[in-house]
Amino acid sequence: MCGIIGYVGQQQASPILLEGLRRLEYRGYDSAGIAVIDDGEMLVRKKKGNIAEGIARELGANPVSGMMGIAHTRWATHGPPSDENSHPHLDASGRIAVVHNGIIENFEQIRSHLTKNGHTFRSTTDTEVLAHLIGECYEKRTADGAAGNPLADAVCEALRDVIGTYGLAVISTEHPDVIVGARRGSPLIIGIGNGENFLTSDANAVIAHTKQVVFLNDYDVATVTADRFDVVNLGADTADVQVRELEFEAEDSERGEYAHFMLKEIFEQPRTVENALRGRVDHEGATAVFGGLNMEPSELRSIQRIIIAASGTSWHAALLGEYLIESLAHVPVEVEFAHEFCYRMAPVRRDTVLVVISQSGETADTLMALREAKRRGHKALAIVNVVGSTIAREADGGIYMHAGPEIGVASTKAFIATLTALTLLAVHLGRMRMLSAGRAEEVLKGLEALPAQIEGLLAQSDVIKRIAEKYSTADDFFFLGRGYSFPAALEGALKLKEISYIHAEGYSAAEMKHGPIALIDEKTPTVVLVPADAMYDKTMANLEMIRARKGPVIALATEGDTQIAEVADDVMYIPQALEPLNPILASVLLQLFAYHIAVARGCDVDKPRNLAKSVTVQ
């Protein structure tokens, strides 16, 4: 949440910063702002609202010029969205500007200390407090005539008093050629250009300019000028600085001909599965192979228990991971909300491996779960999409999703990539235990058939749209499924509520009768996932219970089911597939269903209210 970009070089900064903000908008769209230094003057423009209606319009009316600056798009934490609370924030002198992603937990104490020293504040944000603190440290240092780089030193000094998380960028009119960046808990990346450099929260924002990046580590403080950068680490003698090459193209994070990023990403899913499978299927050994687990076969063989920790959509993938790994590999799996795992101090057996799942690789709750597991001495693997992200770097090993940039705030292709990876992992672990070569081959071939099957589902988009439009005015929805379809039902409900704001609940179809059925009436549609699987008859019985209470039923069934159209009001069909792969197919249809409902309701699909793509605060 909150996107940051800074530029220093030979070009006009404001168009570069504005374009960067557009590419970062999925990180927050409550407000946005930029600060540019021109001829010793700090020019700040900031506005409530999304980028097109807020800052872009403001810059159109009040342009700024200057070859360096910083910019920010906000997801509000402290203080509601408003012009005043927008970043950048200035220090008391007005000569230092700060943009920040994260939370300063002790900002009240710092604020009262600064207030006693005569500071007054224009906003209710924690970031403005930080700007004033840096300003005070800077004044002290320059008054004392301290040697060194006073802006970077002032940032370091200020951060020693700060409790919380930050990715920040700081500029000063006294040093118009330098951006100082610092990170703890929130991502920050240096983009290395030719005679120009960048500082950003996401590689996505600089990919059009450079592929050479340095991912900063916690406690790093970077001083970036047009032709060099220096990094120190507040907790170590030297900083670990590695220049890496980004592995995606600028077009990968563009919307192209699609109306929304979410739709584009739904339609990319045949390729998503192919990419997640590439190089990982070994038909000869009837197994899956991974390059980065960093565990010896003997270590993998001796895993007695797995805990999978994640948040949001990734948590639903984790739940499916439990079903997959337990049934194919017979290893007991427990699934935890990442934040619960961190703090409830559950006893964990020593032969347990933690697997975290995160599209962004930056979700604070998930990162903390990873660190907690490592602190307790467990191996911690990660299934991550964003290459070079904090979780990817801190995990002992793992699997990249290879889904490419996911920009739509509601996760789609990363979910499908994760399920593909988890199925492969289940086969891999299973083949070290008792999974037969024949069954493993069936699953691998089933995975390889998915891209063509998903193409077929996408071709049904208009059919799904018609069904979606019919139910788009409902206020409440249920999504039910049993077995493998239960986590898929949870994810179907989450997709709908995230982007259409319809109250939607996912339940086990079996659990429905133990309470939620009280809410069924003729105005409450239920999506029942009833593919041809071992649970079919039982789920059909649950479907009848809903019909008996006059609840409209939209069934998601397997092609060839001749019974379902007679009992359901509408039916969405998936092709024949192995039971463990049904959720992948079902989820594609449920994504389309949620998408078309949201569009019918006039919702801003790519910028759902109150949400952020990557939640870097706890």
Residue range at the interface with ligand G6P (CB under 6 A); choices 288-296, 325-333, 354-362, 550-558: 354-362
Q: Does 618 bind ligand G6P (CB under 6 A)?
A: no
CB of 314 to ligand G6P, least distance (A): 4
Least spacing, CB of residue 253 vs ligand G6P, in Å = 15
Q: Considering beta carbons, is residue 167 or 430 the nearer one to ligand G6P?
A: 167
Looking at beta carbons only, is 431 or 607 nearer to ligand G6P? Answer: 607
| Rounded distance between C-alpha atoms, residue 135 and residue 118, angstroms | 13
Q: How far is the CB of 262 from ligand G6P (least distance, A)?
A: 11
Among 360, 412, 423, 508, binds ligand G6P (CB under 6 A): 360
Q: How far is the CB of 613 from ligand G6P (least distance, A)?
A: 6
Residue 54's SS3 state is: coil
Ramachandran angles phi, psi of 480, nearest 5°: -125, 145
Decide if 557 contacts 585 (C-beta within 8 A).
no
Tell me how far, at minimum, the Cβ of 359 lies from ligand G6P, in Å: 4
Which is nearer to ligand G6P, 329 or 335 (by Cβ)?
Answer: 335
**68-74/526-530 β-pairing:** unpaired
Give whichever of 287 and 614 is closer to ligand G6P, judged by the CB atom: 614
Residue of minimal CB distance from ligand G6P? 312
- The yes or no reply on residue 314 touching ligand G6P (CB under 6 A) is yes
How far, in Å, are 285, 308, 406, 488, 572 from residue 482 at the CA level?
A: 32, 20, 29, 9, 17
211 catalytic? Reply is no
The stretch near ligand G6P (CB under 6 A) out of 13-21, 295-303, 359-367, 499-507 is 359-367
Among the residue ranges 207-215, 311-319, 325-333, 570-578, the one whose residues contact ligand G6P (CB under 6 A): 311-319
Q: Which is nearer to ligand G6P, 162 or 499 (CB)?
A: 499
Select the residue interacting with ligand G6P from 204, 359, 524, 542 (CB under 6 A): 359
Return left, alpha or beta for 274; rule: phi > 0 is left, psi -120 to 50 is alpha, else beta.
alpha
3-state SS record for 430-472: HHCCCCCHHHHHHHHHHHHHHHHHHHHHHCCHHHHHHHHHHCC
In this chain, which of 73, 186, 366, 500 binds ligand G6P, going by CB under 6 A? 366
User: φ and ψ at 233, to 5 degrees?
Assistant: -115, 130
d(CA 286, CA 150): 61
Cα–Cα distance, 68 to 197 (Å, whole number): 10
Shortest Cβ 133–ligand G6P spacing (Å): 30
**Which is catalytic among the residues 2, 137, 156, 342?**
2
Q: Is 558 in the site for ligand G6P (CB under 6 A)?
A: no
313 scored as a contact of ligand G6P (CB under 6 A): yes
Helix (H, G, I), strand (E, B) or coil at 533: coil
Half-sphere exposure of 587 (CA within 13 A, CB side): 33
Q: CB-wise, 273 or 543, nearer to ligand G6P?
A: 273
Active site residue 613: yes
- Name the minimum Å distance from CB 367 to ligand G6P: 9
Residues in the chain, total: 618
Euclidean distance between CA atoms 222 and 239, whole angstroms: 10
Separation of alpha carbons 39 and 15, rounded Å: 18
Question: How many residues interact with ligand G6P (rule CB under 6 A)?
Answer: 16
CB of 446 to ligand G6P, least distance (A): 25
Span of 88-96, 156-164, 344-352, 609-617 interacting with ligand G6P by CB under 6 A: 609-617
Backbone φ, ψ for residue 611 (5° rounding): -100, 160
Residue with tokens 């705030």: 409
The distance of closest approach from Cβ of residue 469 to ligand G6P in the complex, given in angstroms and rounded to an integer, is 25
Stretch that binds ligand G6P, among 154-162, 310-318, 326-334, 558-566 (CB under 6 A): 310-318
Contact 215, 231 (CB under 8 A): no
**Smaller CB distance to ligand G6P: residue 315 or 536?**
315
Question: Which residue's CB is nearer to ligand G6P, number 582 or number 616?
Answer: 616
What angle, rounded to 10 degrees, do the helices at 413-431 and 312-329 form?
A: 20
Secondary structure (3-state) at 255: coil
Q: Give the C-alpha separation, 190 to 213, whole Å.
A: 5
Choice from 54, 164, 185, 312 touching ligand G6P (CB under 6 A): 312
Joined tokens for residue 417:
């990539």
Residues 485-544 that bind ligand G6P (CB under 6 A): none
Go through 200-225 and write b for each residue having 16 or more CB atoms within 10 A of its CB, e for each that does not.
bbbbbbbbebbbbbbbbbbbbbbbbb
CA distances from 76 to 5, 123, 303 (A): 17, 12, 42
The CA-atom distances, in angstroms, between 91 and each of 31, 137, 186, 223, 340 are 20, 11, 22, 19, 38
Residue 614 lies near ligand G6P (rule: CB under 6 A): yes
* 311 counts as binding ligand G6P under rule CB under 6 A: yes
Using the minimum distance from each CB to ligand G6P, give the nearer residue, 13 or 410.
Answer: 410
- 135 counts as binding ligand G6P under rule CB under 6 A: no
Q: Which of residues 391-430 bind ligand G6P (CB under 6 A)?
A: 409-411
| SS3 per residue for 169-215 | EEEECCCCCCEEEEEEECCCEEEECCCCEEEECCHHHCCCCCCEEEE
Binding region for ligand G6P (CB under 6 A) out of 200-208, 323-331, 358-366, 373-381: 358-366
Min separation Cβ 108 and ligand G6P, Å: 26
The binding site for ligand G6P (CB under 6 A) comprises 311-314, 358-360, 363, 366, 409-411, 611, 613-615
The residues carrying an active-site annotation are: 2, 613
